[in-house]
Amino acid sequence: MKIGDLVTLSAVGKGQDQNLVAACAQFGMVIEITDDKNQGRTAGSTYSCTKPLIKVKWFFSRTHSIQSERTQHHWRYEIKKLKAKPKQ
């Protein structure tokens, strides 16, 4: 996964309640990958993980009621790359 990749939620990501806004989005784009190795984080918290945190900007359809810019942090297992649909 790298900056600029188009992503969507994985099956695990869709099953988590904190990803409700992202579940309504059509797709997202990776805008930042934070790999600071627990700098300034407390032991025992969710953020004490050594894996990189991925910041995603989510995009919605024009007809959807949510029309604001939304960014959200995700772990790698919560998102997957968006596959291109074949032209018809």
- Matching residue, tokens 């997202």: 28
Cα–Cα distance list, 16 to 7, 12, 47, 61 (Å): 17, 7, 17, 22
Query: Per residue in 38-51, pLDDT tens?
Result: 555 555 555 566 78
Average pLDDT over residues 20-28: 82
Cα–Cα distance, 77 to 21 (Å, whole number)? 17
pLDDT at residue number 69: 64
Q: What is the pTM of this model?
A: 0.74
